[in-house]
Structure 1
Amino acid sequence: MAPKERIEELREKLNEYNRLYYVENTPAVSDRQFDEMLRELQELEQRYPEYYDVNSPTQRVGSDMTNRFEAVRHRYPMMSLANTYSLEELREFYDRVTKETGDTEFACELKFDGTAISLTYEEGRLVRAVTRGDGTMGDDVTANVRTIRSIPLVLSGDDWPRYFEMRGEIYMPRAVFAALNREKEEIGEQPFANPRNAAAGTLKLQNSSVVASRRLECFLYAMAGEGLPYESHWENLNKAREWGFRISDHMRLCRTWEEIIGFIDDADRLRPNLPYDTDGAVVKVDRYDLQRRLGSTAKAPRWAVAYKFKAEQALTRLVSVEFSVGRTGAVTPVANLEPVQLAGTTVKRASLHNADQIALLDVRLDDMVYVEKGGEIIPKITGVEEAMRRPDSKPFEFVTHCPQCGAELVRYEGEAAWYCPNSSGCPPQIVGRIVHFISRKAMDIEGIGEETAALFYSEGMVRDVADLYDLKPEQVAVLPRLGEKSAANIMESLLRSREVPFARVLYALGIRFVGETTARNLAAHFRSLDAVMAASQEELAQAEEVGDKIAGSIREYFADPVNLRIVERLRAAGVQFAADEEQRLSDSLAGLHIVISGTFRRHSRDELKALIESHGGRNLAAVSKNADYLLAGDNMGPAKLAKATKLGVRIISEEDFERMVEEGVEKTAAERPMANGEPTDGIVPDTDGTGQQSLF
């Protein structure tokens, strides 16, 4: 047999054996036979590199190359689900849906406790895997996802859409999680808080071979795309199972309220015995046409809801309370407990939140306390078993001075937390600000984690964020666990950080109450740090989503001479303190008013809007007599199309728009017929919206 034919035969067999093992749970060959075939394929691919295929089964072992994650815009937004912990609220959802749609069917599924993923397939092959991110943009983690054996790289059959997406949940099985934490404890590393965090953290590792060793798994629970086989979520998932996707067997199509409650009760009884974590049940309207009719809010679909199970509780003894200090100076009490099993893990610590919560619960040392996970990274204390309290117990007294620097604590009006006011001299605050500054969403300085930042501080090398830019490679290279290569990487990353946009720099400064969104709004409104610093409180409050509280915090930050010195040193280091000026790329759309409607193959709507403005055009939100063109994509609203036809507004496709940008308007427009009854040469909009869904 020719090498190419043998390679293709091995790939086909191994993909099928993988599907039978991970999806059908019916192994067809022994592990040894599978490994021997995989080894033969690896040898053939090494001998004949011209037959390399990124979706070969051999790629599941991962690579030790470093992956930098690229931000990718979701073609179909990944919306979050509305949560409820109440059967009464779930009944309200059911009543609202059935009142609006009549008798309908609901797909009921387990709610997996992992990290959401979107998988894109073209011509039956995996081409991209993207995290949820903010629902609009996520990180491309394709190299890591290829290592997950329950995710098909090449689909079975031949009746799948040319292009579609599968949405699902990547998780870490409980047994894998327990083994991983045992390993981490043995080498003195901090164990993961729960399997969900472990899965999310693993998926974002830079080394895909390490990801492969973590043995992540995945369930798929939704499909999005054009030309889907059915207008039913339930039918499409069953079809997806035929293509090789791992769809949970714990699903049920319910027609009545009683059937929905029956599924939830069964799921709640089932979950302790599952090999993975679940935290609720998802109830979805099954038919896509009814989903479209019900629509969505700004945050969540109105046709689905997640019912969260009551958190598991455990009773244990409160041994002691310690206090941690964050970068803002907030002092947080953490309870040390007698170890207790809770939701499959051993719990030794729990959050007490603040002094008010301690007083409300009347928690005392040596009390027997109730602990819940309830979605928390650190479990929380929710109550006290007073019948088991010692008769000589005394009310707990919150600390009055910072446990780290000794400064007297203060409490600001309207806030529950106590704060250490010594922001420039309290070690955990300083280290916390450094860690925030170097974080990915801020300056994205690689090679410096929390431990390294603390080491820089303890060695006297970095006492504020500006000191980072004074570091020398020879200083860093001699530190424990670093070396010349790490030092070079840190220096290179610091150099790159000088190009980080102004909005992220503003966020990186760590001004109290100024998060990512507020920083973006401030940057868009004021355009430079000098303008922000010079603005009065009233002027600051004029920026979008900036009220008096945030404005006051900004003014307070820049009134501190220590902060001003840090800012000037960052300026001298070359950090971006002004937004880039917007540049017009051409006048090819000058004077044109364009309305965008629908979804598009090569651009997001935001990208199209930016292109219109950068080439001299203006965006309109609605079709009117002032509109020159309607840029029509798939799933366009029929009302806009009808109005455009009535007003004689020209209809253009994405391809037409690209030609207009490149070649100018006159030639393109002359070739483009009007929309009022004449045929068009572009993509005909899918006016009834069939075959396409925006899914969470």
Structure 2
Amino acid sequence: MTDAKNDIPPRILDEARALRSELRRHARLYYQEARPEIGDVEYDRLFWQLQKLEDTYPALDSPDSPTKRIGAPPQDKFKTVDHVAPLLSLDSSEKAEDFIRFDERVRKALGAGVESRYILEPKLDGASIELVYESGVLARAVTRGNGQQGEDVTENIRTIPTVPLRLLTETRPAPELLALRGEVLMYISDFADFNARLAASGAEPYASPRNSAAGSIRQLDSRVTASRKLDVLVYDVLAVTGVAFESDRAGVEAIREWGFRVPERIRTTTTVDEVLAYHADYNARRDDLDFEIDGIVIKLDDLAARRAMGATSHHPRWAMAMKFAPRQEITVIEKIDIQVGRTGVLTPVAWLRPVVVGGVTVSRASLHNRDELRRKDLREGDTVRIQRAGDVIPQVVEVVEHPRDRAEPFEMPSRCPVCESEVYQEGPRTICPNRFGCPAQLKARIIHFGSRSGLDIEGLGEETANLLVDQGLVSQLGELFDLTPSQLVEFEGFGQTSADALVDAIDSKRSPDLKRFLVALGIPEVGVTVARALAEHFGSFSNVRTASSKALVEIDGIGPR
């Protein structure tokens, strides 16, 4: 074997270069242009020929080699990295009148006589991803995370055949830096086959194509990702150096020329009626598509106008999503139970006879509070209509029918079902006051603390939180930082590697960003916007902790409540 590139014979360098070029060309013809010139056997022969050269001459290794598609050795954990540009959410609505008001705001912002041209595209329901290219080569791929930071899943994304490892430059040169946003999808037909194989092997199937796509790109072993049928559609230029686009449409065309697949039927229009017709057409075709969408995206096409309109901390002012009405199904409430949240609120929850709603199996739904429960008169044994709000959150809409011998109305308990503290009423809510002694509240706070919106601690999920509290390892949030691997390895589900990984993940958050730390603490009424205002005003946690009520209410966005 030869380690130094200078020691590799020139004919070998030329052969490797030619094989890579040929494999990239055939991959593009197959995946992007759907006009293959060779069959699988011939492609595999070229692939293994290149792999044999790279095994013999390790100095030939290159991050953009087609052989990277088969996956790399397993990682211990994912790194958290900053996005090149924020991956914001979109303001959304199912109502046409809300879009009309959005259009009026846009026209007012643009000024009289300026045309509001929109670019329209389907709202893909997959796993959002940022792709970053440096000098034309894929440098990293990052999950959306909290919009500011995400997980580095580059090795997994390299295995997806429709993601160029090197940009095409036949019609457009590669910029020094290019950051793109796209969606990782598993097609519905592939999802059905994938779940059937999981079930046959005794594994737990995924609930939806979206979940399977998100789960597939978060595998520590990229060879697992490589074994699954995934696609990536790219639709947005987040950042680019050396190139200036005047419109989003021009950016989409550049994305296509650089070798990416883009969503089908992207359109531009200047009229409200055409936007509504586009929405109605996709809604009518929705069940015939082989991929999940939950609406359409409407964006101002002019990029200079976008910059002038700006964004909130949550969403751009120049774009919105027009959602579809939720899919609905009929099922039965088998049991009503109580869930205690991190702020002590007792929430009635309906356990449902499992039913598939829009491709997702639903077996439970929040009933919100005692007033909602009484208003809808929901009882155990009732046949009910359910929907997934925004095609995400299960909701019980109404009672369809009930048995003749109907169950008694459900009554909220007078004591917390977990810690047995006497509860109190606050408006429609029922609350357990035992904030620091109720195990259910502590578990929920730990889950929130480690969530992506909190400190984003890998491995600190529901199962781990339950174990830490039930086994007496953690009785308050601060004790998370005292955990040792030797404590964890005693319990089922933890080996030495996973115990080390969790303790390291927690330890890495000892000096977090103040804004994220404030969100992670789960203080009532303190979300991202309020946390940012507090962090910018006070500068340190000690200053926040000792601030008076008077000092707090002087901050913009914080009132006396």
In structure 2, the CA distance between the partners of 1:491 and 1:355, relative to structure 1 (3 Å rule), is: same
Counterpart for residue 427 of structure 1: 439
Task: Identify the match of residue 393 of structure 1 among 395, 406, 417.
Answer: 406
Give, in whole Å, the separation in 2 of the partners of 1:280 and 1:481: 40
Task: Identify the match of residue 538 of structure 1 among 550, 553, 558.
Answer: 550
Task: Identify the match of residue 288 of structure 2 among 273, 285, 297.
Answer: 273
Counterpart for residue 325 of structure 1: 340
In structure 2, the CA distance between the partners of 1:516 and 1:154, relative to structure 1 (3 Å rule), is: same
Give, in whole Å, the separation in 1 of the partners of 2:530 and 2:274: 45
1:507–1:519 contact (8 Å) kept in structure 2: yes
Task: Identify the match of residue 329 of structure 2 among 301, 309, 314.
Answer: 314
Deviations 1:628-668 (A, max 9, x none): xxxxxxxxxxxxxxxxxxxxxxxxxxxxxxxxxxxxxxxxx
1:120 paired to 2:132: yes
Paired residue secondary structure (1:379): strand
Q: Offset of 1:476 from its aligned partner?
A: 2.4
Q: What does 1:425-574 correspond to in 2, within 5 Å?
A: 425-439=437-451, 442=454, 446-500=458-512, 507-515=519-527, 518-519=530-531, 521-522=533-534, 525-526=537-538, 532-542=544-554, 545-549=557-561
TM-score, normalised relative to structure 1: 0.69
Paired residue secondary structure (2:47): helix
Q: Offset of 1:543 from its aligned partner?
A: 5.1
Give, in whole Å, the separation in 2 of the partners of 1:490 and 1:78: 27
Counterpart for residue 11 of structure 1: 20
Paired residue secondary structure (1:431): helix
Deviations 1:64-85 (A, max 9, x none): 123532422435x544433232
Give, in whole Å, the separation in 2 of the partners of 1:530 and 1:255: 52
Task: Identify the match of residue 368 of structure 1 among 377, 380, 383.
Answer: 383
Task: Identify the match of residue 195 of structure 1 among 181, 204, 209.
Answer: 209
1:171–1:199 contact (8 Å) kept in structure 2: yes
Q: What does 1:88-103 correspond to in 2, within 5 Å?
A: 88-94=97-103, 100-101=112-113
Counterpart for residue 87 of structure 1: 96
Q: Offset of 1:256 from its aligned partner?
A: 4.6
Counterpart for residue 277 of structure 2: 262
Q: Which amino acid aligns with 1:83?
A: S
Give, in whole Å, the separation in 1 of the partners of 2:302 and 2:517: 46
Q: Offset of 1:266 from its aligned partner?
A: 2.0
Counterpart for residue 82 of structure 2: 72
Paired residue secondary structure (1:42): helix
Q: Offset of 1:246 from its aligned partner?
A: 0.2
Q: Offset of 1:162 from its aligned partner?
A: 2.0
Q: What does 1:337-376 correspond to in 2, within 5 Å?
A: 337-375=352-390
Structure 1: stretches of 5+ with no match in the other structure: 550-696
1:324–1:333 contact (8 Å) kept in structure 2: yes
TM-score, normalised relative to structure 2: 0.84
Counterpart for residue 154 of structure 1: 166
Q: Which amino acid aligns with 2:75?
A: M
1:407 paired to 2:421: yes
Give, in whole Å, the separation in 2 of the partners of 1:18 and 1:371: 44
Paired residue secondary structure (1:480): coil
Give, in whole Å, the separation in 1 of the partners of 2:60 and 2:482: 49
Deviations 1:208-233 (A, max 9, x none): 33333343321112335356586443
1:350–1:379 contact (8 Å) kept in structure 2: yes
In structure 2, the CA distance between the partners of 1:101 and 1:48, relative to structure 1 (3 Å rule), is: farther
Counterpart for residue 55 of structure 2: 46
1:409–1:420 contact (8 Å) kept in structure 2: yes
Give, in whole Å, the separation in 2 of the partners of 1:494 and 1:346: 33
In structure 2, the CA distance between the partners of 1:289 and 1:459, relative to structure 1 (3 Å rule), is: closer
Q: Offset of 1:12 from its aligned partner?
A: 1.7
Q: Offset of 1:346 from its aligned partner?
A: 2.9
1:174 paired to 2:188: yes
In structure 2, the CA distance between the partners of 1:481 and 1:104, relative to structure 1 (3 Å rule), is: closer
1:28 paired to 2:37: yes
Deviations 1:523-567 (A, max 9, x none): 555566555555443344445644434xxxxxxxxxxxxxxxxxx
Task: Identify the match of residue 418 of structure 1 among 420, 426, 430.
Answer: 430
Q: Offset of 1:28 from its aligned partner?
A: 3.4
Counterpart for residue 296 of structure 1: 310
Give, in whole Å, the separation in 2 of the partners of 1:340 and 1:259: 36
In structure 2, the CA distance between the partners of 1:433 and 1:189, relative to structure 1 (3 Å rule), is: farther
Structure 2: stretches of 5+ with no match in the other structure: 1-9
In structure 2, the CA distance between the partners of 1:353 and 1:194, relative to structure 1 (3 Å rule), is: farther
1:168–1:218 contact (8 Å) kept in structure 2: yes
Q: Offset of 1:280 from its aligned partner?
A: 0.9
Q: What does 1:206-221 correspond to in 2, within 5 Å?
A: 206-221=220-235
Q: Offset of 1:186 from its aligned partner?
A: 7.3
Q: Offset of 1:277 from its aligned partner?
A: 0.7
Paired residue secondary structure (2:389): coil
Q: Which amino acid aligns with 1:2?
A: R
Q: Offset of 1:236 from its aligned partner?
A: 4.3
Give, in whole Å, the separation in 2 of the partners of 1:174 and 1:356: 39
1:194–1:377 contact (8 Å) kept in structure 2: no
Task: Identify the match of residue 334 of structure 1 among 349, 362, 374.
Answer: 349
Give, in whole Å, the separation in 2 of the partners of 1:206 and 1:100: 54
Counterpart for residue 225 of structure 1: 240
Task: Identify the match of residue 256 of structure 2 among 211, 219, 241.
Answer: 241
1:323–1:331 contact (8 Å) kept in structure 2: yes
Give, in whole Å, the separation in 2 of the partners of 1:426 and 1:130: 37
In structure 2, the CA distance between the partners of 1:336 and 1:254, relative to structure 1 (3 Å rule), is: same
Paired residue secondary structure (2:138): strand
Q: What does 1:575-654 correspond to in 2, within 5 Å?
A: none
1:72–1:140 contact (8 Å) kept in structure 2: no
In structure 2, the CA distance between the partners of 1:259 and 1:419, relative to structure 1 (3 Å rule), is: same
2:294–2:391 contact (8 Å) kept in structure 1: no
Q: Offset of 1:324 from its aligned partner?
A: 1.7
Q: Offset of 1:452 from its aligned partner?
A: 2.7
Give, in whole Å, the separation in 2 of the partners of 1:291 and 1:501: 29
Q: Which amino acid aligns with 1:159?
A: R
Give, in whole Å, the separation in 2 of the partners of 1:397 and 1:326: 19
2:352–2:363 contact (8 Å) kept in structure 1: yes
Q: Which amino acid aligns with 2:24?
A: N
Counterpart for residue 7 of structure 2: none
Give, in whole Å, the separation in 1 of the partners of 2:549 and 2:244: 57
Q: Offset of 1:342 from its aligned partner?
A: 1.6
In structure 2, the CA distance between the partners of 1:525 and 1:107, relative to structure 1 (3 Å rule), is: closer
In structure 2, the CA distance between the partners of 1:118 and 1:490, relative to structure 1 (3 Å rule), is: closer
Give, in whole Å, the separation in 1 of the partners of 2:434 and 2:240: 55
1:74–1:138 contact (8 Å) kept in structure 2: no
Give, in whole Å, the separation in 1 of the partners of 2:541 and 2:241: 46
In structure 2, the CA distance between the partners of 1:427 and 1:137, relative to structure 1 (3 Å rule), is: closer
Give, in whole Å, the separation in 1 of the partners of 2:139 and 2:160: 14
2:336–2:379 contact (8 Å) kept in structure 1: no
Deviations 1:584-638 (A, max 9, x none): xxxxxxxxxxxxxxxxxxxxxxxxxxxxxxxxxxxxxxxxxxxxxxxxxxxxxxx
Give, in whole Å, the separation in 2 of the partners of 1:306 and 1:147: 30
In structure 2, the CA distance between the partners of 1:190 and 1:515, relative to structure 1 (3 Å rule), is: farther
Give, in whole Å, the separation in 2 of the partners of 1:505 and 1:258: 46
Counterpart for residue 6 of structure 2: none
In structure 2, the CA distance between the partners of 1:258 and 1:492, relative to structure 1 (3 Å rule), is: closer
In structure 2, the CA distance between the partners of 1:160 and 1:44, relative to structure 1 (3 Å rule), is: same
Q: Offset of 1:166 from its aligned partner?
A: 2.9
Give, in whole Å, the separation in 2 of the partners of 1:426 and 1:327: 9
Give, in whole Å, the separation in 1 of the partners of 2:103 and 2:455: 46
